[in-house]
Amino acid sequence: MNQQFDFIIIGAGSAGCAMAYRLSEDPKNRVLVLEFGGTDAGPFIQMPAALSYPMNMRTYDWGYESEPEPHLGGRRLATPRGKVIGGSSSINGMVYVRGHACDFDNWEEMGASGWGYRHVLPYFMRQETSHGGQDGWRGLNGPLHVRRGTKWNPLFAAFKEAGEQAGYGVTQDYNGQRQEGFADMEMTVHNGRRWSAANAYLKPALKRPNVELIKGALARRILIENKRATGVEYELGGEIIEAKAAREVILAASSINSPKILMQSGIGPADHLAEHGIDVVADRPGVGRNLQDHLELYIQQACSQPITLYKHWNPISKALIGAQWLFFKTGLGASNQFESCAFIRSKAGVKYPDIQYHFLPFAVRYDGKAAVEGHGFQAHVGPMRSKSRGRIHLTSSDPRSKPSILFNYMSEEEDWADFRTAIRLTREIFGQDAFAPYRGKEIQPGEALQSDDQLNGFIKEHVESAYHPCGSCKMGAADDPMAVVDPTCRVIGVDGLRVADSSIFPLITNGNLNAPSIMVGEKASDHILGRDPLPASNQEPWIHPNWETAQR
């Protein structure tokens, strides 16, 4: 079988869906989207409060995990990635964080010219319809709906008030001019449903006659002739099929699968490819390197009043919440329950926030396991800019084999000091008067753990991934030997091939990765179509005036 298209996109995730929508706006462009996963229909994905289910279901998740992490006592950490239309935007926590302005200016300094904050802000605005965001900084008619929760629980307000009492600022919109401070958290929810990239971008695109989606298609390799990508070989129902791309192949398969597919296609570190008997098309040592992630801890406090989500942690209550959501798309089922947050700096001399908080009026693990002993609340906290770097390797030349993922978490001494600081700052926030009416004992880590050694032991045993892997196909200057793509997302050394997803981030952004991944898809679309980029913004983001001398 031979199929002819202008563009072939591998992966219907956050960036892939955005590109399918933008590349198909011109009816002359025939666009094929290849996705190994299946449909996103059903309440487990579409109901926001059910977020702990899809990432633990093999139907929707690739089921990856890290190698035994040497600095975490050999623990293997779960590395969920979406295997469904919408990709990880269909199984994530729906938290919407653009990142800090300085993140993108850092990208530009690292060789990603044209990706400074002034360049990416217009794309963030193009992608979103913001409900309640800051005028002049937020989009008003993009495909992606972004809103705040109802803040039904008094603990959400207590968290913000405690931050203020501890001497931190409050920001009206952390996705606007000022990220730093305590704030209402934003979520990708619309009309009570998860507003994934599939709902926002892919489904509208599929109404056009020039877009085709093939589900259940496993991309085996990119077809390359004379250093030019000409199509994709994929497997569907046991049959191997070739699809041809007259213009370009675009890889948007995630920070785990994009480097894997590049290596399967002969693009990567020559010695590693040779180990697996793969002919080298382009020796790019950076493929699979520079892997980054965020780690987080759950700091849990017992609640002395029976007001937390724990009161709904029973079959009858869950059924009532589910029914209300099913029939009316309202109630507790229509929120991810992350409705307050904060971005703070760990110490004086740090220019912009390097610690993020998600606050939850419940003491429970992200995977929905181990609801602890009754009523409690928790903050998910972690440093944002670890210097630890990992890698992705092939385990075999067989496209069906899982990659080897090693994040090398906590390999820098600074990481441990940063986490201890995060724990102590959280205890201080939970110790403020705003929490006095609700504060019971500290559940985790527990008041007995105070010394550096005791906290290190707790971190080593309890730290979890925040599921923000990125960086494994770094964007940089064409003469940077470790760069995989240039600032137009072109794979260096191969024509007609681009990568556009979170794998191209030179540096992890400050916060959750769905928003910047979609932005990459939006901006890459203009590069692919040969359009002039959107005009740069002249908005000036807020930086703490005393950052050099004050922590808050």
Binding-site residue set for FAD:
6-35, 84, 92-95
Say how many C-beta atoms besides its own lie within 10 A of residue 373's C-beta. Answer: 9
Handedness of CA 77, 196, 44, 10 (dihedral sign): negative
Whether 89 and 13 have beta carbons less than 8 Å apart is answered as: yes
Phi, psi of 300 (to 5 degrees): -115, 135
DSSP one-letter string for 404-448: EEE--TT-SHHHHHHHHHHHHHHHHHHTSGGGTTTEEEEEES-TT
DSSP one-letter string for 37-62: SB---SHHHHSGGGTTTGGG-TTTB-
Could you tell me which of 448, 303, 436 has the C-alpha nearest to residue 377? 303
| Strand pairing class (144-148; 464-465) | unpaired
Q: Output the 3-class SS for 357-411.
A: EEEECCCCCCCCCCCCCCCEEEEEEEECCCCCCEEEECCCCCCCCCCEEECCCCC
Cα–chain-centroid distance for residue 267? 25
Q: Which two tokens stand for residue 211?
A: 């877009």
Query: Which residue is catalytic, options 100, 145, 380, 468?
Result: 468
Which residue ranges make up the annotated binding site?
A: 6-35, 84, 92-95
Q: What is the amino acid identity at position 158?
A: A
For residues 423 and 425, give the distance between their C-alpha atoms in angstroms, rounded to a whole number.
6
- Judge residue 529's burial from the number of C-beta atoms within 10 Å of its C-beta, 0-12 exposed, 13-18 middle, 19 or more buried: middle
Q: Which residues contact 346 (CB under 8 A, 6 or more apart)?
A: 354, 355, 383, 418, 421, 422, 425, 551
- What letters, b where the CB count within 10 A reaches 16 and e where it falls short, cover 165-191? bbebbebebbbbbbbbbbbbbbbbbbe
Say how many C-beta atoms besides its own lie within 10 A of residue 291's C-beta. Answer: 26
Whether 352 and 102 have beta carbons less than 8 Å apart is answered as: yes
How many Cα atoms occupy the beta-carbon half-sphere of 30 within 13 Å? 9
For residues 394 and 369, give the distance between their C-alpha atoms in angstroms, rounded to a whole number.
32
Phi, psi of 333 (to 5 degrees): -70, -20
Is 462 catalytic? The answer is no
Q: Which two tokens stand for residue 235?
A: 């497997």
Alpha helices in 71-153 (DSSP H): 101-109, 117-127
Angle between helices 101-109 and 117-127 (to 10 degrees): 130
Which residues carry out catalysis? 468
